[in-house]
A = this chain, B = another copy of it.
Amino acid sequence: MKQEVSRMEDGRIEGHMAPSVVSKLKIKNECIRVVLAETLCTFIMMVFGLGCVAQVITGNGFFGDFFSINVGFALSVAMGVHVGGKVSGAHMNAAVSLTMCVFGSLRWKMLPLYIFAQFLGSFLAAGTIYLIYYDAIYNYCGGNFTVSGPKATAGIFATYPAPYISIYTGFFDQVLGTALLLLCLMALADQRNQPVVPGGEPVGVGLVVLLIGLSLGSNSGYPINPTRDLGPRVFTMMAGWGMEVFRAGNGWWWVPVVAPFIGGIIGASVYKAFVELHHPDLKSTKTRSAEDPECVPLEKCKNGSAEMSV
A130 to chain B, nearest CB (A): 12
Chain A residues 50-98 with CB under 8 Å of chain B are 50-52, 54-55, 58-59, 62-68, 70-72, 75-76, 78-79, 81-93, 96
> Which residue of chain B lies nearest to A215 when distances are taken between CB atoms in the complex?
B51
Q: How many copies of this kind of chain does the complex include?
A: 4
**Residues of chain B lying within 8 A (CB to CB) of residue A305:** 107, 109
Given A25-B277, A44-B183, A194-B201, residue A5 in contact with residue B295 (CB < 8 A): yes
**Residues of chain B lying within 8 A (CB to CB) of residue A178:** none
| Neighbour of A37 across the interface among B79, B219, B274, CB < 8 A | B274
A275 to chain B, nearest CB (A): 5
A305 to B112, CA, bound (A): 14
Q: Is A104 an interface residue (CB 8 A)?
A: yes
Q: Is A135 an interface residue (CB 8 A)?
A: yes
Chain A residues 283-310 with CB under 8 Å of chain B are 292-298, 300-306, 308-310
**Residues of chain B lying within 8 A (CB to CB) of residue A211:** 48, 72, 75-76, 79
Contact check, A180 vs B83: say whether CB atoms are below 8 A apart: no
> Which residue of chain B lies nearest to A163 when distances are taken between CB atoms in the complex?
B139
Contact check, B81 vs A189: say whether CB atoms are below 8 A apart: no
> Contact flags (1/0) for A161-184 with B, using CB distance below 8 Å?
010111001001100100010111
Contact check, B196 vs A197: say whether CB atoms are below 8 A apart: no
**Residues of chain B lying within 8 A (CB to CB) of residue A302:** 29-31
> Contact flags (1/0) for A1-37 with B, using CB distance below 8 Å?
1111111111111111100001001111111011011
Contact check, B11 vs A89: say whether CB atoms are below 8 A apart: yes
Chain A facing B: main interface SS: helix
- Of the stretches A202-210, A238-246, A253-261, the one at the interface is A202-210
Q: Is A193 an interface residue (CB 8 A)?
A: yes
**Residues of chain B lying within 8 A (CB to CB) of residue A47:** 176, 180, 215
| Neighbour of A7 across the interface among B131, B183, B280, B295, CB < 8 A | B295
Q: Is A262 an interface residue (CB 8 A)?
A: no
> A-B pairs with the 9 shortest C-beta distances?
A85-B194, A51-B215, A12-B189, A7-B294, A15-B103, A72-B214, A139-B164, A15-B104, A197-B199
